[in-house]
Amino acid sequence: LTGTSREQRAFQYLLAHAIPGDPHHILQTFDQWCYHCEHLSCLGPDKGEWRIVERVLLDRAPLRVLELGTYCGYGTVLLAQGLPPGARLYTIEEDPRHAAVAEKVIRLAGFSEQTVELIVGPSEEVIPRLREKHGLMNANLVFMDHRKHRYLRDLQLLESHQLLAEGAIILADNILFPGAPHFLQYAKTCGKYHCKVHRTSLEY
């Protein structure tokens, strides 16, 4: 009835209740909205903030991170707040309406374009230009949280364009439900990766 999207309404809630420049509080406020107002397909605190993503960031301290599927910026803020000094995060969102919200969320959390670069466009078009147009030589960590049927295609695109650093980690969300079976089969059988499936709850 308001003529605004759920994502825009969530951002208005952030503006009213979150502390600008405080990524942790931005995420907590997002969680409050999703628990008590409207559901958004964000990572949520159970499988994101306190668990897998933060543990990988702490253990590996990646300097170059690529996120596929920005949505409204929750995962981006989570990743960015765990980056070591001098690191850079590239995040790709296909939907320009979601990207417009995400851009405001990322900047509200206090991250500049030097730390987080948001790229709008289909991943299959953006990935081949990451090196020449955006300066990403290779990624130490790739976080996949976009359309599940694109996981395998985009992983193979990253391989073919040599955008994965030696020892890179690929962290893929929701591979069991709604599921990315072809991606999972490839990762387990191609001989290039050591695989581990983390059992988690759905968001919120």
Omega cis (within 30) before 178? yes
pLDDT value for 203: 79
Catalytic residue among 31, 103, 154, 173: 173
Residue 201 near residue 47, CB atoms below 8 Å = yes
174 classed as catalytic: yes
Question: 48-190 has which CATH code?
Answer: 3.40.50.150
pLDDT band of 178, cuts 50, 70, 90: confident
At 108-160, the pLDDT tens digits run 999 999 999 999 999 999 999 999 999 999 999 999 999 999 999 999 999 99
Question: Cα(70)–Cα(101) distance, rounded to whole angstroms?
Answer: 10
Residue 102 near residue 95, CB atoms below 8 Å = no
95 classed as catalytic: no
pLDDT tops 90 at residue 176? no
pLDDT band of 198, cuts 50, 70, 90: confident
pLDDT value for 50: 60
Q: What is the residue extent of each domain of the chain?
A: 48-190
Mean pLDDT of the chain: 94
User: pTM for the full model?
Assistant: 0.94
At 65-117, the pLDDT tens digits run 999 999 999 999 999 999 999 999 999 999 999 999 999 999 999 999 999 99
Catalytic residue among 49, 67, 148, 154: 148
189 vs 176, more confident: 189
203 classed as catalytic: yes
Tell me the percentage of the chain whose pLDDT exceeds 70.
97
pLDDT value for 48: 55
47 classed as catalytic: no
Question: Cα(55)–Cα(103) distance, rounded to whole angstroms?
Answer: 25
Question: Cα(89)–Cα(108) distance, rounded to whole angstroms?
Answer: 16
Q: How many residues does the chain have?
A: 204
145 classed as catalytic: yes
pLDDT value for 1: 66
Tell me the percentage of the chain whose pLDDT exceeds 90.
83
Catalytic residue among 174, 188, 192, 196: 174
For 126-159, b/e burial (b = at least 16 CB within 10 A) is bbeebeeeeebebbbbbbbbbebebbbebbebbe
199 vs 142, more confident: 142
At 155-172, the pLDDT tens digits run 999 999 999 999 999 999
